[in-house]
Amino acid sequence: METHGGTDAAVLLALFGWPQEPGLIFTERRADLRRHAGEISFPGGRQDEIDADLTTTALREAQEEIALEPARVELVGALPPVSTFVTDYRVHPFVGLVADPAELNLRPNPSEVETVLTFSLELLRENYEMRRLVRCGVPIHTPTYEVEGQLISGATARILGDFLGRLG
């Protein structure tokens, strides 16, 4: 599938508890942000000129957003990029193994992140549903995951679905 997007970005699927009780780390973005306000997402963001490559972007953004030290991440793979419809990003997802979140001393960056969330893959799978959502006035039929009152949709849900599908 061809990916569009005028701006490259990268996200980190920080996978903990592998393989016994795997889960992923998400962020809830602040409600007053200009872009993707209040959304549940993977740590990540736009590629900066100083980033050597997109893996560097994903690791830098995870450190900036939730204080996840790059040295505590073992990169194990990448998924195909995904486009965002509203903001015109081409998002490159990277998968990294991390320790249990309780051991990582994760802290949300108060200028960007409301809270750090962790969900087991089992819970995510159980709460998958195709829904009709309205984006920019346009109704779309899209994958979603609603876990503990948090709705994961958009590019994050598409990346998550691809990831879970590849795990089988």
* The residue to which tokens 């991440």 are assigned: 73
- Between 32 and 151, the more confident residue is 151
User: In this predicted model, what pLDDT tens digit does every residue of 99-109 receive, in sequence order?
Assistant: 999 999 999 99
77's tokens:
């793979």
Beta strands per DSSP E along 5-164:
7-16, 23-29, 40-41, 44-46, 74-78, 82-83, 89-97, 113-120, 128-135, 138-147, 150-152
CA neighbours closer than 13 Å in the CB half-sphere of residue 93: 23
The predicted structure's pLDDT at residue 67: 98
- The whole-number pLDDT of residue 138 equals 79
Distance from C-alpha of 28 to C-alpha of 6, rounded to nearest angstrom: 24
Q: Please give the distance of CA 140 from its chain centroid, rounded to a whole number.
A: 20
Tell me: pLDDT of 29 over 60.
yes
* pLDDT value at 54 more than 70: yes
Fold of the domain spanning 7-122: Nucleoside Triphosphate Pyrophosphohydrolase (3.90.79)
- Calculate mean pLDDT across residues 64-90: 93
Q: Is the pTM value of this prediction over 0.85?
A: yes
In this predicted structure, what is the pLDDT of residue 94? 98
Q: How confident is the model at residue 32 (pLDDT cuts 50, 70, 90)?
A: confident
Report the chain's mean pLDDT, rounded to a whole number: 92
**Average pLDDT for residues 9-21, to the nearest whole number?**
97
Is residue 140 predicted with pLDDT exceeding 70?
yes
| pLDDT given for residue 143 in this prediction | 94
Integer Cα distance of 6 and 50 in angstroms: 18
Give whole-number Cα distances, 164 to 114, 118, 145, 158, in Å. 26, 16, 12, 10
